[in-house]
Each structure stands twice: as structure tokens, then as C-alpha cells.
Amino acid sequence: MPASSASSFTGAVATPHTLATDAATDVFRDGGSAIDAAIAAAAVLTVVYPHNVALGGDLIALVRSPDGEVTCVNASGWSGAAADVDAMRAAHGTELPARGADAVSVPGGVRGWEALHRMAGRLPWARLLQPARHAADAGVPVAASLGVHLADPENADLHGSADFDRVFRPGGRLLQTGDEFRQPALAATFAALADGGPDEFYCGDLAASSVKYLRSHGSVLDAHDFADFQPEITAPESVEFRGLTVSTSPPNTHGFIMLRALTAVDEFQTAAPLGADIGTLMRVFHHANRLRSEYLADPRLAEVDTKALVYDDIRAATPIGDAVAARSVPRGDTVGVATADSDGWAVSLIQSVYHAFGSGLVDPDTGILFHDRGTSFSLDAESPNVLAPRKRPLHTLMPVIVTRDGELSHVLSTMGGQGQPQILTQVLLRMLDGESAADAVAAPRVVVGQQSLGCTDDSVVVEADADASALASLHESTFETVVLPRHSESLGQANVVQVGPRGQLTAAADPRADGSAVVVQYSRHHRRS
């Protein structure tokens, strides 16, 4: 009879919801890879965190393989072939809405999972979706973050929609934290995805239902827009910083902002970028935000000079003043998942619906909530980010992987909308200065820009427990300072994995979310003849 042997492995995962972390941990114990674990976690998050992520949203991920190569999976969806900027101007004026079908681009997330699974998936596709299917079918308690966003007056515009209310106001009562949250239509959708694979979402009955539903609300998306979509697999953008290679996603994403900030910290020889010199760092981010607004777009359909965005005029500053308040702030927008395994695979996965609950459209036949990423397009004909057929919008998702001499060092992910590069920069700097992963993600944060309700481009949002020297630096600047309570969710939910000097994995989840971090030992059995 053939004998069997077992090899011991280690996996690490951090997510913003404990059920997603549990799903990833079980995948590791079943012999799965870091990629398998990330997919399983992301799938569960579409069930338990729909204010931040859904099957009808986008995904951007970085993957580090055992040979040291880092690859970007850009599964940000495109506009329809029939997209017409003049028609959108006639309908909406100068800006696309954040709600409704005109804000919906093709959701890229499921194709993103497929691309990841093809790289190093060890477990069957259906196995990875099983925890999400079970959570949707059996029900889960409403998470604290979801309960807060359902009750938020900023989302009251969604109440009264029959499709939204069917899911989130069953029996006419708005779900509250701790209530049972069941989604039978979404459970059936996961069953169909498990049986039919990703093609079911883009070419099968699920795609047909999505197109029919969206077009009934006025969308120009059609079956070909879904069927033709494929993610872009590309090299990341990177900079060298303190002996490390910091990699993130290239345009159409704003990962360049983090790379520019790290370059500035190096060039300025900033002694305390998160303390007495944080005002200087905020000016770097403030100017980078302006560059994002003026120059970032889909490089397949617009000219985007990434090197210039990272390196040019690094000491330039944008004047402060005369900014206007944001019409809508994407505060509950995204989930970040970080995984790694002792085989050498690592994943930073970011998935999103953009604004809280995205477009607000929920297909009653499938339970799929659709994002509103298309609202990021400009309607200004002079903007490189102007709406055009089959174009991807400017994107705030940005995964990060850090290596040292080709070996994995850090995996970072966060939600936080326009503040993602600022949040990740601060978390990384803290870890490089010796803080533990747990302390780094829990530490107070500072973000410049439209990060909270009523803020402008010139606002700096800071948590109340920030270091006294940092608060003094901000008060000395000419930014408008907005102080929020400790561990405010609007300043992000970061999740990280760190590799120690002897190769040991540690993980940390942000206390601003409902998540957890686990390092698990597991075995894989091998048959011997």
C-alpha cells in the first residue's frame, strides 16, 4: 500500500472581519496557498461587509511568488462600449452621480479571483467559495461597521428603494448591529459561481441577469461589455527605500502617491515624518493629490507618465486655500486582505464598491450589489480621465508588497479611499522604525484631503491620540485641522503581514474594523509509493 507523509507549513492572514479570517485559516488547514486564502477571505467579505465590498465591484492585487517576482492583477472594470460623455453631461451636468446605473462600470472582481487562482490555487474553485455561500445562506450577525453605515444619514438616500430594502430593511426594519443577516439570493449566486466558474458571472445566466437589471435602470452596459472584460496582468511600480523595494499598483491606480512620498522622505532626510515633521509629509501628499486629480487616468487610453508622477518636482507644493467641500466622500469603500505562506507566496488584495453600498443597486434575482466606480470618471473633455468607451476610471485601490533583496518583508492593505497611500505610508514607516505590526496598524493617523464629511482638499484629518509633536506640527501649518476620535473608521482599516529576521510570519488587523489576524501551522499530506 502507498504510504503518506506530511510536511509542515505556516500561513498568515489579516482581514477586516473575523469570519473572513476564519475562512482563510480553514483554507490553509486544508492545504491551500496564500492565494487560496485571500480569495476565500475576499468572497466572505462580499457577504458580511457589503457596505465596503460586493461581487459587483473591482479588485486590484499584488502577488509575490516564491521566486521573488511581484505581479499586479488589475481587475478594475471598464465603461461600456456605448459610453457617451456628451449624454452624461446632458443628464448630470459637470459630475457623474455616485448612485444609480450611470455610476456602474463592469465589475472586475470575479475575473480578478480567477486570475489569482490560476497563478497558484491549490484547492478547487468551489471550495474557496463555500464559506461565502454558507454565510449568505445561514446568515451572520450584522457587523458593527455595517450597522454604523446602515444607520449613517449619509446613506439614507438608499432607504425606500425596494431592491435595497429587500436586503437591508427586511420587513421594513433597518438591520442593526447584531441582527441576523441572511442573503438567500446571494447564496444561490455563489452556488452558481461554484458550479459554473467565473465565466458564469461574465458570460452565463448571472451575466444576463446583471445586464438586464442594469439596463432596466438606464445603464448602457451590455452583454459584450461583460463577456469581453479581462483583467490586466502587469508589473508593479516600485521604489527603493531604506534597503527595501516597495511595490504597488501602476496607473490607473494612485499607488504612485505612496512611492512619491517615500522618495520625498528619503530626499528631505526627514527626521520625524510622523512626528514633528508631519506637516512636511502632509504637504507632499497634498501636492500628490493634486497630481492625481490632474494627470491620473487609464494609460491604455490616455498618456500617463508614471515616472514623472513619482519623481518630478519632488519639492513642489500646491498652494493651500480656496478649496471646496466634497460632494460625497467614499468613507466605507473597500476591504484589504493580506496573506502569506511559508512556500513564499504572498497576496495584498484590495476589493471595493467605492462609496458605501456603491451604486445602491441590488439585483433582486441574484443578490449582487453593484459598485459605483464609474463616478470617478471626469466629464471634462480636457481631463485625461474623461469618460470614454471601454475605459477604466481613475482608481483608489492600491495593494502594497515590500521585499528585501527579493525576500518578502511586508504585505500591506487598507481601505480608506483617497487616503489609502497616506495610511499605508504611515503604517510602513512605523514598522520600519521598529513598531510591531499590531502597534503600527493601531497607531493614530493623519490624512490630508477629502477624508471625512465636510472636508476639503486642504483639510487634514487627525485622530485625537496623535503624538503631541505631530499635533503641534499640524497646527503650525496652514491646513485646516479636523480632529476625530481615536480609531476612527474613516481613517482606514489596515491589515498587514510582516516577515521577521528569521523568516517568521506575524500578522495584524486594524482595531478600526471587525477583523482579526492569524498565523496558522498546517500540514499537507503526500503519498509515497
The residues that are catalytic are: 334
Local structure of 8: helix, strand or coil = strand
Burial class (CB in 10 A: 0-12, 13-18, 19+), 216: exposed
Is 129 in a helix, a strand, or coil?
Answer: helix
Give the three-class secondary structure for 518. strand
Task: Answer whether 495's CB lies under 8 Å from 509's CB.
Answer: yes
Q: Any residues with CB less than 8 A from the CB of 451 and at least 6 apart, and which?
A: 329, 331, 416, 417, 418, 419, 459, 461, 490, 491
DSSP 199-243: HHHHTSHHHHHHHHHHHHTT----HHHHHH--PEEEPPEEEEETT
CB–CB of 395/79 below 8 Å?
A: no
**Rounded CA separation 339/496 (Å):** 8
**Angle of helix 205-216 versus helix 184-196 axis, rounded to 10:** 140
Rounded to an integer, what distance in angstroms lies between the CA atom of residue 357 and that of residue 158? 9
Q: Which residue has the cell 481613475?
A: 394
Collapsed DSSP state (helix, strand, coil) of residue 433: coil
The residue to which cell 523568516 is assigned: 503
The three grid cell numbers given for residue 94, joined into one nine-digit string? 459637470
